[in-house]
């Protein structure tokens, strides 16, 4: 905002000066030359005032962030899918997606992270379109009602910091389900939401 204010003030001052000079001259070529000189001067002022805001390093960082975000938006992460030796991972993922009525063509499918004993690595899947990823994410909530799939979750792709936060949330969800099995617990909008199982609105009998 500071940069734009400085630029606007400079432009207004220079253009005022330009028109003042231009109308004091007697021919078109002189007017043209005057305006060109003032625009060059304005360009110089603008470059200096905005050099910090639009430095190559900052622009590179912004472009990189946008590119990474665009790439990640075509991914989804599957948590809780049992890991076995010599597994056919693609088939496992397709079976999970079939449970929510999805049969997408996956671009890639792989485990994420270092393999450790007694730990299940998440699976990153990549699809061709962002729309299909969003559709899968919308339907993923159905998994917690499916027998044999209630411990599997599908989430958007995240940065390393975001994945750590997600992992803590999953652990909290597991604890919640263990401590309060009589209720239905799920993750919604970055927090755990609980409700009574098979709850139905009360119906009043009006006779």
pLDDT at 8: 47
pLDDT at 94: 95
Residue the block writes with tokens 């253009």: 15
Helices 28-49 & 2-22, crossing angle to 10 degrees? 160
Name the more confident of 77 and 200: 77
Residue the block writes with tokens 């799939």: 149
Tell me the helix, strand and coil percentages in the chain, rounded to 5.
Answer: 50, 15, 35
Stretch among 3-12, 42-51, 92-101 having the lowest mean pLDDT: 3-12
Label residue 7 by pLDDT band (50, 70, 90).
very low
pLDDT at 177: 87
| Rounded mean pLDDT, 2-27 | 48
Q: Which of the 8 DSSP states describes residue 15?
A: H
Question: Residue 118, exposed/middle/buried by CB under 10 A (0-12, 13-18, 19+)?
Answer: exposed
pLDDT at 24: 45
Record the pTM: 0.54
Question: Under a CB-based contact definition with an 8 Å cutoff, are residues 81 and 120 in contact?
Answer: yes
- Whole-number Å distance between alpha carbons of 204 and 207: 10
β-pairing verdict for 123-126 and 183-188: unpaired
pLDDT at 21: 47
The dihedral formed by the CA atoms of 152, 157, 161 and 167, expressed in degrees to the nearest 10: 0
Is pLDDT of 114 > 80?
yes
Is pLDDT of 50 > 60?
no
Average pLDDT, the chain: 75
């Amino acid at each position: 905002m500071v940069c734009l204010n400085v630029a606007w003030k400079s432009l207004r001052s220079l253009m005022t000066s330009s028109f003042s000079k231009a109308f004091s001259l007697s021919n078109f070529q002189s007017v043209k030359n005057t305006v060109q000189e003032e625009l060059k001067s304005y360009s110089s002022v603008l470059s200096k005032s905005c050099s910090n805001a639009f430095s190559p390093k900052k622009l590179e960082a912004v472009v990189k962030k946008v590119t990474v975000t665009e790439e990640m938006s075509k991914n989804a992460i599957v948590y809780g899918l049992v890991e076995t030796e010599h597994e056919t991972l693609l088939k496992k993922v397709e079976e999970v997606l079939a449970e929510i009525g999805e049969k997408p063509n996956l671009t890639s499918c792989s485990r994420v992270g270092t393999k450790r004993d007694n730990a299940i690595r998440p699976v990153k899947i990549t699809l061709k379109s962002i729309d299909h990823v969003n559709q899968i994410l919308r339907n993923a909530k159905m998994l917690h009602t499916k027998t044999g799939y209630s411990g599997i979750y599908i989430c958007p792709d995240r940065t390393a910091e975001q994945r750590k936060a997600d992992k803590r949330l999953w652990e909290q969800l597991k604890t919640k389900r263990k401590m309060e099995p009589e209720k239905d617990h799920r993750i919604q909008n970055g927090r755990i939401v609980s409700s009574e199982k098979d709850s139905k609105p009360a119906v009043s009998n009006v006779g």
